[in-house]
Every structure is written in C-alpha cells, then in structure tokens.
Amino acid sequence: MSTVIPVPDNWQPLLSSWEELRHGYHAGDQDETVRACARRLDTTAPRPEGDTVLFWTLGLLMLTPYVAFGNPGPGVEDEVVAVLRRVARSDDGRACAHGWHPYEADVDDALEHLPASLEVLSSPVIQALDDLLPEDLLPVDYLDELEDEEAEPAKLSGSEILARWQCPRTAPGFARAALDYLGATVR
C-alpha cells in the first residue's frame, strides 16, 4: 500500500530534530542539520516522482525559520536557497486539474501543523480508513480563516486533499513558499 508522501526509514527522528531546531532548542550541530537536509533534497530532486522529494522539501521548509532568523553559519543560506530554487523550477509551469494546493496555506500555520500532517501523509493505514477530515491534512487555523465557504479548500474531502498533496506541483510550490519565507526569488 502506498502513501502520499514517501518517507525515509528514519523520518521520525529527523522530524523531531527539525522541530527542535525550528523552535530553537536543538542541541546538535544546527548548520549540519540544515545542510544534511539540503544535500538529501539535492540528491533526491532529480529523481522521478514518487521519491522522497516532497518530504525533503518539507524538511527544508521546517528549517527556514532557523535559516532566516537563527544566525546560520557562512554558506548555509546560499546552499538552501540553491536547492530550493532548483526544486521550485522543476514543475516548469505545468498545469494540473487542481485549483488549489496545500502550499497555498499560510506558511506559519503550515509549519505548526506539518508534524501532524506528516503522520497522516506517511501512514497507509490511516489513509486506508477513508474517513480523513480536512483538518487531518491542513492547518485548522487556515481552514478557520477561509472567509468564503465557497473557497475550494473548504469544500474538499480528505481524499481530495490527499490528491492535492500527491500533485507533482506540490513540492515545487512548497519550495517557492520556503524561498519566499527567506526573502529569495526563484529566478
């Protein structure tokens, strides 16, 4: 049974480490944690869809607050920006049938909800239950902020949101969101 986001075997300790760094209490080498994620994304990004590109892109998204505000060492931001740009350009403007994607949620809301989302998105057992709610896959704050109940995310079922996570445009979209957070452009 497949999952929406393929993840490496050691993904949960990685996620914990990224969360610690994002919140400012990571005891390890912060710059090496960021560089390791960037290197993994850099080596994964050229591979075909279905690989762990989205996972590593979300990892860098989680690490962008540290890169933006945590005083990283020389070259760390440049390395992160370079790989994010490559991922952001990888969709080549291809169109899809979806009018809305998860990367369109507010970045800060997404960062808060991402650990819980990854639990759902990486679990074929949870996904097989077929009773996922939008709040299982998107930040509740984001859903609450939708003023127009006709906005597409407000009308989507859990399975429809899963399809948006699987869209080939999702990883490039999150890469663009991370670049925006860093004040960088795609170029």
**Percent of the chain with pLDDT strictly greater than 70:** 84
Q: How far is CA 129 from CA 9, 94, 115, 163, in A?
A: 23, 32, 20, 15
What is the pLDDT at residue 10?
85
pLDDT tens-digit readout, 110-166:
888 888 888 888 877 766 666 677 777 777 777 666 555 555 666 777 778 888 888
pLDDT tens-digit readout, 81-112:
999 999 999 876 677 888 788 898 888 888 88
Rounded to two decimals, the pTM is: 0.89
